[in-house]
Structure 1
Amino acid sequence: MNNYQFYKQEGNQYIFKNQPVFVSVLCIIFLIVAALLFNSVRTFSYVIIAVVVLIMINFFTKKFVIDMDRKTITGKHSIFVPVKTYPIENFRNFHVLATKYMGFITTNVMLSMYFEVDGKEKQLTIGQALTQKGIQKMVNETEDIMNLNNPENGYQRPL
């Protein structure tokens, strides 16, 4: 049995573990700002508190599941996005998007999967990290789970 850093295995289902550290730090910073501004700008403090509540709700509703029995990938990235399920056979590639501040300071790295469904490109976001090294580990674990590294499965990996 494999021990994965980013996935929890339940039978042949692999459930992405949400990363609570970034969300927790962000919520704490927002709450501190709201507390400091509460007496002078009360309405803005309420808006910040509402944003914190939305961030926390999104954290608990986010899910990403690879089901190797049904050969499907199911994802829900936010409370405002419906659950989407795609067959693994429709998988095309991973996409890594790095956001940089002033052109050289990496502030966020996001990993997505692209599927081709009925001739249209569809996207599921897997996760985010502060470094590309963390995203590379996510890609490696996801490839291992989906058996993309096995040459006998017939999947031709784009270079």
Structure 2
Amino acid sequence: MNNYKYFEQDGEKYHLKAQFVFIAFLGGIFLLGGLLLAFTKGSADKAVMWIGYAMALLGALVLLRLTTKTTIDMENRQILFKRHFLTSEVAYSLDNFETFVVASTVSLFGITMNGAVNMVLNINGKEKLLMLNQSIFTVAPLNNMVNEALQIMKLED
């Protein structure tokens, strides 16, 4: 049995581990900051109150990402993807897999501010992107996760 850092193996299914700390921190900052803004400064200024509510809503949406589930099912050669607990699971055939894209946003000073890895699928001639993970300040963990996924999918040794 292989020991993966980013995936948990369950027979022929490989579940992508959730980025609990990163997502909870980011969502919590926006949720708490928005509520704090809305109920302190926002009590005197309606525009600030609505900005606080928008920040809190954004934080809640980020926290929904904690319930995302991505599974590589090698027995059925599928990728099972569930955006969050309010949506149903969707199965994509591994035959539709094209590539992974690791993208980063770099600041003026050359610092990587944000990184994201997407799985690119070609379904009936249309491109479908599945966001798998994000990072800040570096894309090295995303590249390592992609290497593990390629190994699991038996596309690279």
- Residue segments in structure 2 that go unaligned for 5+ positions in a row: 44-48
1:34 is paired with a residue whose SS is: helix
Aligned residues: 149
State the 1:92 CA deviation: 1.2
Q: Distance in 1 between matches of 2:83 and 2:134?
A: 11
Provide closer, same or farther for how the CA distance between residues 149 and 55 of structure 1 changes in structure 2, counting only shifts above 3 A: same
- Aligned twin of 1:156: none
Residue pair 2:13, 2:74 contacting (<8 A) in 1 also: yes
Deviation at 1:10, TM superposition (A): 1.3
Change (3 A) 1:146 1:38: same
Q: Give the alignment of 1:12-91 within 5 angstroms.
A: 12-30=12-30, 31-32=32-33, 34-35=35-36, 38-42=39-43, 43-44=49-50, 45-60=52-67, 62-77=68-83, 83-91=89-97
SS in 2 for 1:121: strand
- Local SS of the residue matching 2:18: coil
1:155 corresponding residue in structure 2: none
* CA RMSD between the two structures: 2.3
- How far apart are 1:67 and its partner, in Å? 0.3
Q: Percent identity?
A: 33
Q: Deviations over 1:88-132 (max 9, x none)?
A: 122111111111222622111111111222222222121112212
The normalised TM-score by structure 2 is 0.81
Which stretch of structure 1 is more off in the superposition, 137-146 or 40-49? 40-49
1:118 aligned residue? 124
Deviates more, 1:125-134 or 1:31-40: 31-40
Which of 102, 108, 114 in structure 2 is aligned with 1:108?
114
2:155 is matched with which residue?
148
* TM-score for the superposition, normalised by structure 1: 0.80
CA distance in 2, matches of 1:136, 1:108: 14
1:13–1:149 distance in 2 versus 1, CA, 3 Å: same
